[in-house]
Structure 1
Amino acid sequence: MPAALFGILLSAFNSIIGLILRAATIKFVLFTVLYIAIREIVPLLQSSGILPGAEQASSLNNALLGIPSGVWYFLDLMNFPTGLRLVISAYVARFIVRRIPLIG
């Protein structure tokens, strides 16, 4: 009787280990750590002057000031300012991720 119980417990343990060590779980942990690292490293790079911060964004603001109000109406309908920020941050994140040897 105890040998059968040991087999059941061993089978349950193997199932739990298989679930934890599945590729999806490992990728989830890896990308979570990567997200946290990027979130902490980017402000450090901005404060050191390697990446442009908010004070360097004035040239982008000046470029957008030249757009006529009729065009801004349609850009506001499409929520262009938020979309532009998302696209730029996605390109920066892709650039950083591709420089990591194991992932990129």
Structure 2
Amino acid sequence: MSQNSFSVSLSPACFQTWFSPNVVMNMCGNDAQFSLCSTRKPGLLATILYILEKHNLDVVSAHISSDQYRSIYMIHAHADGASDQYPEAMSVEDTFKLAAGEMNLWVMSC
């Protein structure tokens, strides 16, 4: 009988949730899942993607559902961690929270 070995990190995953009435963000490490619900607003998807790009967050996947009244966006984003080389840079957690806050402002406006 052969034995397979592999290493497993025993440190707990740091899973956090941030939410507002129309935006929920779950994050763990350098990954975050953004869920947004809004009445149909032309240009909202482009704005969401602009916010992610502005904060150097990469879109891993996106799922969009809509009907005649509302749209639901679910986006998996990844932070590459390049900002770690600059001590004055924001943490990944703060970057995700800032992006979620900006998305919330856009969803609540108009």
TM-score w.r.t. length of structure 1: 0.26
- Choose 1 or 2 for highest CA Rg: 1
Point out the structure with the larger helix share: 1
- Larger RCO: 1 or 2 (CA < 8 Å, sep 6+): 2
TM-score (norm 2): 0.25
Name the structure with the higher strand share.
2
